[in-house]
Copies of this chain bind each other. A is one copy, B any other.
Amino acid sequence: MATIRDVAKHAGVSVATVSRVINETGYVHEDTRKKVETAIKELHYTPNEVARSLYKRKSRLIGLLLPDITNPFFPELARGVEDEMQENDFRIIFGNSDENMKKEKEYIQTFVQNNVVGVIASTNHPDTDTYRKMNIPVVFLDRTADNRPSVFADGREGGRIAAHEMIARGSRQITVMQGPKHIRPAQDRYQGAVDVLSKEGIPFNVIMTSSFSFTEAGTWAKELFEQHPYTDGVIASNDIVATAVLHEALRLGKKVPEDVQIIGFDDIPLSSLLTPSLTTIRQPAYDMGRAAAQLLMQLIENENIDHKTIQMPVTFTERDTTRKVDQHG
């Protein structure tokens, strides 16, 4: 591959001159510029991004940290971030934190060492020094913290909607599945549901869960119907868990939604293809990814930004694991 030295030699100018042409810094005579541009074309020279980033102190790389790309909610987020970044010529260094602080810190450090110009992170620890001491922009995604730049959905409202719709459709023996303690959005949606159920005076049971893993979801679904066999409504912590609950309910010979209603959270792509298809509280994951990318680019460009915390709406997505409102009389 041709180097900047080859170009300089071919054009009969100094390396510094070629650099000035490439980086558009300083005056270069028009004839000289043309010579350099011709040499670049003839040698198929591609400026080395690393050298440019050192020189300009700006790369076109951003870091993206997610908890776990194999949780079907996150590929949608990642895709939103990537599409927006790709259209704007940014590239993404990507890592999974597994909600593990040590791994998270290592990733963030190496992002910085690789000269990323900004970071998008779904972290449970926005308040640690890892983020506070960074001198490049950070946008929190699917998370938020004291007015710092962030894009997230209204989880508490989602929980409230789930509880209201469950009550409106006639369930009176409701079980709420509480997501992992250390995951803030999971606690928000849990709290929203509990607020409404308490206020309305509807008794409810709680099943605690400690992850969103596919294999464990089945275990909790079993536990739910063993501990609370008369459950007639399940507010699940996300769509994976809801899918496991649906599977277990049908295995036990229960009719859904006649005997048990189920409401999930997220609206992952497979939810509409389940049978019965899953009623859920939709988070606009793809759009959240896009919005986070846009916000980060504005921060990188030092644009004046009015709204640094962007809360996206959640929507009740009615499908077939809940009864129609007029059905329960």
Contacts and interface: CB of A to CB of B under 8 A. Distances in A.
B112 A46 contact: yes
Contacts of A114: 49-50, 59, 61, 91
A96 B79 contact: yes
Interface in A34-54: 46-51, 53-54
Copies of this polypeptide in the complex: 2
A270 B72 contact: yes
A243 B50 contact: no
A94 interface: yes
A244 B218 contact: no
Contacts of A112: 46
Nearest to A110: B91
Interface in A151-166: none
Interface residues of A, number: 57
Interface in A4-21: none
A78 B96 CA distance: 10
Contacts of A218: 273
A277 interface: yes
A49 B111 CA distance: 9
Interface of A: 1, 46-51, 53-54, 59-61, 64, 68-70, 72, 74-76, 78-79, 82, 86, 91-96, 103, 107, 109-115, 135, 214, 217-218, 240, 243-244, 246-247, 250-251, 269-270, 272-275, 277
Nearest to A275: B250
Contact of A82 (B78, B94, B115, B240): B94
B48 A115 contact: yes
B76 A70 contact: yes
Contacts of A107: 91
Contact of A113 (B47, B103, B217): B47
Given A69-B78, A75-B69, A244-B273, A94 B96 contact: no
